[in-house]
């Protein structure tokens, strides 16, 4: 069965970076896009960007353009989300979510369990 398993909760200081992993199993990793979505009480659900696990091509939402890096390691079917320059506004639950259809990213049919990132001094 399809599973996306994310790394554990993180506590970071302002200005630091965080790297969250998303281990995929149960399907052909390189066939489906992986998206990253975060959820905050104030801003709700916010799409951050996506990666094509086959080519490594990425697309970032403008808001995160300067400090978000999405990567993947196909040998271990794992995607990574690296967010730098953290502020308290980045305190959120971060999700990876799979694109339902091959070569298209817009429908998120499987989600990781979420990773809570807390930014606090």
Partner 1 sequence: DIQMTQSPSSLSASVGDRVTITCQASQDINKFLNWYQQKPGKPPKLLIYDASNLETGVPSRFSGSGSGTDFTVTISSLQPEDIATYYCQQYDNLPYTFGQGTKLEIK
Chain residues that interact with partner 1, rule: CB under 8 A: 35, 44-47, 59, 61-62, 95, 97, 100, 105-109, 111-114
Classify residue 58 as exposed, middle or buried by CB count within 10 Å of its CB (0-12, 13-18, 19+).
middle
The nearer residue to partner 1, 16 or 114, going by C-beta atoms, is: 114
The nearer residue to partner 1, 16 or 23, going by C-beta atoms, is: 23
User: Distance (Å, rounded) from C-alpha 118 to C-alpha 93?
Assistant: 9
Classify residue 56 as exposed, middle or buried by CB count within 10 Å of its CB (0-12, 13-18, 19+).
exposed
Q: How far is the CB of 6 from partner 1 (least distance, A)?
A: 10
The nearer residue to partner 1, 35 or 77, going by C-beta atoms, is: 35
Q: How far is the CB of 42 from partner 1 (least distance, A)?
A: 10
Q: How far is the CB of 63 from partner 1 (least distance, A)?
A: 8
**Reduced to 3 states, what is the DSSP secondary structure of residue 92?**
strand
């Amino acid at each position: 069965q399809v599973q996306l398993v994310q790394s554990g909760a993180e506590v970071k200081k302002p200005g630091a970076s965080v790297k969250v992993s998303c281990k995929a199993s149960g399907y052909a990793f390189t066939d489906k896009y992986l998206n990253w979505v975060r959820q905050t009480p104030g801003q709700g659900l916010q799409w951050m960007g996506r990666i094509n696990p086959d080519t490594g091509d990425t697309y970032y939402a403008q808001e995160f353009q300067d400090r978000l890096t999405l990567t993947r390691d196909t040998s271990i079917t794992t995607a990574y989300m690296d967010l730098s320059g953290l502020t308290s506004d980045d305190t959120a639950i971060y999700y990876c979510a799979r694109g339902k259809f091959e070569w298209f990213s817009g429908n998120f049919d499987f989600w990781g369990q979420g990773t809570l990132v807390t930014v606090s001094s």
